[in-house]
Amino acid sequence: MIKTVAIIGDRFMLPRLFEQALREACGEDLSIRSLEQAWPDQPMEHGYAKAGMDGLKEYMGEPDDIVAFIGDAPILVTHLAPLSAAMMDRLPALKLVVVSRGGPVNIDIGGARERGIKVVNTPGRNASAVAEFAIGAILAQTRMITRGHDALRRGDWRGDLYRADITGEELSEMTVGVVGYGHIGTRVVRILKAFGCRILVCDPYVQLSVEDLRDGVEQVSLDRILAQSDVVTLHPRVTEETKGMIGAAQFAAMKPGAFFVNTARGPLVDYQALYDALVSSHLRGAAIETFAVEPVPPDWPLLQLQNVTLTPHIAGASVKTVKIAARTAAQEVRRYLSGEPLLNLC
């Protein structure tokens, strides 16, 4: 029996790669229709601004247009398309939604469960990309790469960055604190080992691997990470427990002259408190990849500081991320069609 799959991708998660992965995993007995959204060339919706979209954030597409495109398809594979409870009521044939991201925040999971619609995601799809990026962000700050780059852009040759009292330390002499030991945090630790630094890990819900213990990685409290680390890098998910977990008290508890890196999520951090810690020179620098509001307002104070590396939420942007997500999504569709248990049921 031919099954219909509606694919709603974008200019990052390309629909053609979804379709290719589906054909390879499920064969040709699929009727596939595809829609390409304009993200990231056009911004997605953030927050809970629109009526009828309760509980959804970080999505793209008008509800009527999305419902019309999905139509009678029992399977939806998407990246950013929204699916509210009201939209589900207009899609009686829909049985499976595959979301190619770690957190399916564009889907009303409770509404889907109530209506018997299965929702799966692709956890860890960008773990390798974000881990590499985090290491780059750490080096950009600790080795003055950003400061040298910005100065040359202004026509200023910062030879003084070679002074012993200004130049950066090597990671081999530093203690790096990794907060969050999931898909990304574990990869960050794996890469950091090659630099020879002391590594501290804080995550109350996981245990270090035997390999990490053998290599001298230490599992400690957040307080100890803050007190002892020369670099603190964040990698937890956003939950009620972790929202605002790094604020004024935590920055005050960090070592004077330490660096702070956030390639995780904006709601984890009080950015006004970070600004204060940087302006006061309590912290030597920071690398910020995610923000409380995106896009960042052009008059945002942190944009004006010279001791900050800023990037527009691109840590997970790699072709490998796309390929992993497409393959993972396709395998979930194959399992569903074959009657096998779904691996990443939300």
Give the residue numbers annotated as catalytic, written as ranges.
265, 294, 313
172: left (phi over 0), alpha (psi -120 to 50) or beta: alpha
Residues 6+ apart with CB under 8 A from 157: 151
- For residue 75, the cross-strand partners are 5, 96
> Going by C-beta distance under 8 Å and a sequence separation of 6 or more, which residues neighbour residue 116?
95
Nearest CA-CA partner of 330 in 96, 2, 89: 96
**Residue whose tokens read 């945002």:** 300
Q: How far is 220 from 212, CA to CA, in rounded Å?
A: 13
The Cα-based distances of 296 to 31, 275, 300 in angstroms read: 41, 14, 7
Rg of the chain over all Cα atoms, to the nearest angstrom = 22
Helix (H) or strand (E) holding 76: strand 75-78
C-alpha span between 322 and 94 (Å, rounded): 24
